[in-house]
Chains A and B, each alone.
Chain A
Amino acid sequence: MPRVRPRVDQLGPRLHPTVRFFWGLGLLSCLVFADGWEARALLALLGVVLALASGKRVSLGYFGFLVASVVAFNLFLPVGRVWVNLGPVPITEGAFFLGLGKGLTFAGLVFFSLASISRDLRLPGRFGALWGQTFAWYEQLMDQRHALKPRALLLSIDRLLERLYPTRPGSTAVVPGSSPSLLPKTTVAGWVLVGLTLVPAILTAVFLR
């Protein structure tokens, strides 16, 4: 089992999860409505920085491959000036930049999502309560994940399940409640961050065309 080095979420203590969620939606909207690959590249770059600041793992190789593959598939549909002919396939300027913009949009969507979705995000209603219960169990499973033994996987999973949800006669499952942990309030620094990212993102989306 790979050991995971914990990463620090720099945004968590400064932003309430709901404010953080809507902030992310705002940034996502800017990315979706941006026109041109330059604007999308700038926004995707902002997304990478925010995703890293939120302590999420960002595999640049994976996202590089994502963008490259979108560009490659777009090149099969020629648009605009021909740069070079690769056998029967004309590599065109329009198709390249269309693909680049599209690839950057999808990568950026994931970056902004990583930055803005917090595990503390509360969902409303009965489903929200059930989600809280699910997440509490998930945390217990994660705490005990080292009990899984690759050489006896099925047996170790079985033991782990019995420990968390006992089924032996006479035992009762203790259903964890969703932890009533105090959620952070949005601090002044948090609101400054929202302003300092959202305003330039809107300006980029509107004016860089």
Chain B
Amino acid sequence: MRESGNRLDLPRPVRTDLVAFFGALSLFFATLEYLFPKPIPFFRLGLSNLPLLVSLGFFSFREQMLLLLLKVVGTGIVNGTLASHVFLFSSGATLASFVVMYGLHRLVPTRFLSLTGISLAGALASNAVQIALAIGIVYGPAAGVVAPWYFGLGTFTGLAMGWGATAFLKHSKWLGRLHAQG
């Protein structure tokens, strides 16, 4: 069993409520991150991805996609960036990150890849899409020079989020009880 657990065997309405709850958690973490000053412009730790990471395997693919949609649209509404290029960057990066994390979670056994590794891969996929969008839409080809720095930061945040998610899964009694219900 992967450490993020198997799919919750709860009635569908309850699982849908949980998707909404995890979506709210994503928004909550996004807001917390927004409140703290950033050490480097554009730098994001990606706290709002924690609920996505922790819930990998909890929900069906459709429910996970719903959670993803709640996260990106919700963050756009709460932060007021829904009608700007920030939303495009955010949705593209989150989608790429999710596809990679979900794929690895489903395809690679736990003994070969930990949740931290999955998080790292997701963060790098997210960075790759953001760099591509930055080159294609905002900054032009010269923006490629910052790619190594950006991937360096992505490695740090991916590892940090993976470590955080693993620690939470290991210690959270709330998640344990939720899983026992399912």
Interface centre among B25, B35, B86 (most CB of A within 10 A): B25
Within 8 A of B (CB), among A156-198: 157-158, 161-162, 164-165, 167-168, 173, 175
- Stretch from A38-46, A128-136, A201-209 forming part of the interface with B: A128-136
| Contact assessment for B36 and A2 in the assembled complex, using a CB-CB cutoff below 8 Å | yes
Chain A residue with minimal CB distance to B69? A127
Chain B residue with minimal CB distance to A173? B17
Q: Does A138 contact B (CB under 8 A)?
A: yes
Q: How far is the CB of A57 from chain B (nearest CB, A)?
A: 8
Find chain B residues with CB under 8 A from A62 CB: 41
Find chain B residues with CB under 8 A from A154 CB: 167-168, 171-172
Q: Does A116 contact B (CB under 8 A)?
A: yes
- Cβ-defined partner of A142 (8 Å) among B28, B69, B84, B140: B28
Find chain B residues with CB under 8 A from A70 CB: 138-139
Interface centre among B66, B84, B138, B140 (most CB of A within 10 A): B84
| Contact assessment for B174 and A162 in the assembled complex, using a CB-CB cutoff below 8 Å | yes
Find chain A residues with CB under 8 A from B111 CB: none
Q: Does A83 contact B (CB under 8 A)?
A: no
Within 8 A of B (CB), among A108-165: 109-110, 112-117, 119, 121, 123, 127, 130-131, 133-138, 140-142, 145, 154-155, 157-158, 161-162, 164-165
Q: Does B62 contact A (CB under 8 A)?
A: no
A112 to B17, CA, bound (A): 33
A161 to B177, CA, bound (A): 12
- Cβ-defined partner of A133 (8 Å) among B17, B83, B85, B172: B17
Q: Does B78 contact A (CB under 8 A)?
A: yes
Interface centre among B74, B77, B86, B173 (most CB of A within 10 A): B77
Find chain A residues with CB under 8 A from B78 CB: 119, 135, 138
Interface residues on B, range: 35 or more
Find chain A residues with CB under 8 A from B23 CB: 130, 134, 137
| Contact assessment for B85 and A106 in the assembled complex, using a CB-CB cutoff below 8 Å | yes
Q: How far is the CB of A10 from chain B (nearest CB, A)?
A: 14
29 contacts between A and B (CB under 8 A): A1-B32, A1-B35, A2-B36, A25-B83, A66-B41, A70-B138, A73-B142, A74-B139, A76-B141, A77-B140, A77-B141, A110-B85, A113-B83, A113-B86, A117-B76, A117-B80, A130-B16, A131-B74, A134-B24, A137-B20, A137-B24, A138-B28, A138-B78, A141-B28, A145-B28, A154-B167, A154-B172, A167-B177, A173-B17
